[in-house]
Amino acid sequence: MGNCQAIDAAALVIQHPCGKMERLYWSVPVSEVMRMNPGHYVSLIIPLPASGRNENRDDRAVSFSRVKLLRPGDTLALGHAYRLVTSQEVMEVLKAKKYAKTKRQQRLESTEKLQHEQEQGNQSWETLQSRVVTRHERRRPRTAPANAAAMSSKSWRPSLQSISESAS
């Protein structure tokens, strides 16, 4: 009686798009796997944590959170799971990423433009208010105020007291 878990750890698993699972018990270059499966890329499956999972799940189905494409010069290591990905799937993902990046950039530009317009609007509103105040001040009559003390607090005017000469 052997230990099945030790055998699984000493193998690498390649999942085909059709659902076929291939186990290899030696390291293989990515370029060789790609040559045996034309039109496919090899990706590393990064598994999700097992906590919170349903106990009745199918053991043959491999769930993953992220897929990392491997270069042809890389080597598949024992104890890892890999997936073959078609060229069409890779192109769809790249297009989706590019589309998302473009949309995000457009959103950023539109928010920056909106903020700039709001700042310009605030500045023009303040300028308009100052112009209205200036016009209003210009139209004010230049008559002497009823309260002279109020006028003296606003502006200082020199006053000369007459010096009386005394006859000696």
Alpha-carbon Rg for the chain in angstroms: 41
- pLDDT, tens only, 118-163: 777 666 767 766 766 655 555 655 555 555 555 555 666 667 676 6
> Using CA atoms, how far apart are residues 127 and 36, in angstroms rounded to an integer?
73
Report the range of poorest mean pLDDT among 33-37, 50-54, 97-101, 132-136.
Answer: 50-54
> Using CA atoms, how far apart are residues 79 and 27, in angstroms rounded to an integer?
10
CATH of the domain at 82: 3.10.20
24 within a domain of the structure (yes/no): yes
103 within a domain of the structure (yes/no): no
101 within a domain of the structure (yes/no): no
Report the range of poorest mean pLDDT among 3-12, 16-25, 96-105.
Answer: 3-12
Q: What are the Cα distances from residue 61, in Å, to 4, 22, 28, 90?
A: 19, 13, 23, 21
130 within a domain of the structure (yes/no): no
- pLDDT, tens only, 107-117: 888 888 888 77
Return the closest-CA partner of residue 67 out of 99, 89, 95. Answer: 89
- Identify the bridge partners of residue 69 per DSSP, sorted by sequence position: 43
117 within a domain of the structure (yes/no): no
In the chain, the number of structural domains is: 1
77 within a domain of the structure (yes/no): yes
141 within a domain of the structure (yes/no): no
45 within a domain of the structure (yes/no): yes
- pLDDT, tens only, 91-100: 888 888 889 9
End-to-end CA distance of the chain: 142
Taking the whole predicted model, whether its pTM rises above 0.95 is answered as no
* Structural domain span for residue 72: 8-50+59-86
Within the chain, residue ranges assigned H as helices are: 4-9, 30-36, 87-138, 148-154
